[in-house]
Amino acid sequence: MKILICTGIFPPEAGGPATYSKSLAEKLIKRGHEVVVITYVTRISSPLTGEDKGEGDFSIVRITRSWFKPWHYYKYFKSVKKHGKDADVLYAQDPVSAGYPALLASKVLKKPFLIKITGDYSWERAMGRKFTGKLIDEFQKLPSYPKPIRKMRNIQIHVAKSADGVIAPSEYLKRLIVGWGVKEKRVRVIYNSIEPIPEIPKDEARRDLGIADNEFLILSVGRNVPWKGFEVLKEVANKLVIPAQAGIQFNIKLVILNNTNRETTNKYFRAADLFVLNTGYEGFSHTILEAMSAGLPVITTNIGGNPEVIQNGVNGILVEYNNKEQIKEAILKLFNDSELRKQVARNAKQILNKYSLDRMISQTEEALARAWPA
């Protein structure tokens, strides 16, 4: 197949869609497909513009972002139309900045169009601009939306409904998308993959990071956005009093990583004793899987895609979002029972094959092939 991947971001820019698009392109090339990637780039942050060759022997076309969005959307559309002419299928990674111009080009070219949807872009923007304080599920039920959000929401729903197929990384997101009026048979769940956290001896990682032997290290990782619940987690950790064990008085040390480089993040995953993610929304959490792959017991919320990964009391503990008492009790339960921590971590590692890279690539390859008329 000849596949055109349309994404909003791509390395060296950071982010899930960037990492996913690069990994997908490299693996598809190795499987004998031809791949071209179209992405945006900010001239200030990267000198790369125009077209160049990726490390995996695929072409990358970079469209410079403009302060006037319709202008770079138009340039993106023109580029998709040009490079999609020889493609068998167009695969977009978001429903607005990449998905909308790619959909328009697919109509002109009469090419199959698939899209991956990893969340509600309109809700994230509404939260970021303080147009709403509602969590994502409540947001779906609002009778009306502010004008700029309504326009964005209408675009993302139109693109999702118009696509020949929609890929969602969790059953939760599939239900969300079907709730927009997208036909259920057009939405396929393909769980994302993770790269295992590199092996580093725990004592070495703690020594490098300056973590004392009597510090019980709780780690949390994520974007610094309101729904991640970091402030409540800090409050719980600051007030938490833990008993001495074997004559040693332990101290709680909470570390929250927002935009930390990969090497340091991996080291913290290996140094930590517990991973806690008090989040009000997760379509599908990579960080939870990364924590599990590092052998960490996990405490997280019973929302979004989390219950698809965590079976409460078996391979992790689920709590209510921002429920301070439940978070506190879960931390103390795992702190006081080292055998439970080990058992939970062992059970978590047993399910990781479900999220292997090869499995994700094979399922995506199949979905793209189905969209391509024989």
Task: Give the Cα separation of 11 and 22 in Å (integer).
Answer: 7
Query: Residue 216: pLDDT above 90?
Result: yes
Same domain, 127 and 50: yes
Q: Does residue 221 carry a pLDDT above 90?
A: yes
Looking at residue 60, its pLDDT comes to 94
Distance CA 189, CA 275 (A): 26
The pLDDT, as a whole number, for residue 374 is 47
- In a shared domain, residues 206 and 277: yes
Q: Answer yes or no: do 148 and 94 share one domain.
A: yes
> Number of H helices and number of E strands within the chain?
15, 13
Residues 237 and 308 both lie in one domain: yes
Let me know whether 32 and 140 are in one domain.
Answer: yes
Q: Name the band, by pLDDT with cuts 50, 70 and 90, for residue 51.
A: low
For position 89, which CATH number holds?
A: 3.40.50.2000
Q: Which of 51-55, 154-158, 314-318 has the lowest mean pLDDT?
A: 51-55
151 and 251 in a common domain = no
* Span 101-122, pLDDT tens digits: 999 999 999 999 999 999 999 9
Residue of 40, 44, 173 whose CA lies nearest to 100: 40
Q: Does 168 lie in the same domain as 59?
A: yes
Q: What is the mean pLDDT of the chain?
A: 92
Shared domain check, 214 and 155: no
Task: Judge if 189 and 164 occupy the same domain.
Answer: yes
Which whole number is the average pLDDT over 80-91? 96
Q: CB of 123 within 8 A of CB of 39? A: no
Residues 60 and 177 in one domain: yes
Domain count, the chain: 2
Confidence of residue 373 (pLDDT cuts 50, 70, 90): low
Class of residue 141 by CB neighbours under 10 A (exposed 0-12, middle 13-18, buried 19+): exposed
**Stretch 9-36: mean pLDDT, rounded?**
89
pLDDT at position 15 is: 73
Whether residues 20 and 167 fall in one domain: yes
Burial 337-370 (b: 16+ CB within 10 A, else e): eeeebeebbebbeeeeeebeeeebbebbbebbee
Per-residue pLDDT, 28: 95
Same domain, 156 and 275: no
**pLDDT exceeds 60 at position 45:** no
Q: β-strand 50-53 against 59-64: which pairing, if any?
A: antiparallel
pLDDT of the residue at 56: 61
Say how many Å lie between the first and final Cα of the chain, rounded.
11
pLDDT band, very low/low/confident/very high, at 46 (cuts 50, 70, 90): very low
Residue 262: the pLDDT is 86
Range of the domain at 347: 202-355
Q: Which pLDDT band, with edges at 50, 70 and 90, does 47 fall under?
A: very low
Share of the chain above pLDDT 70, in %: 95
pLDDT at 130 over 60: yes
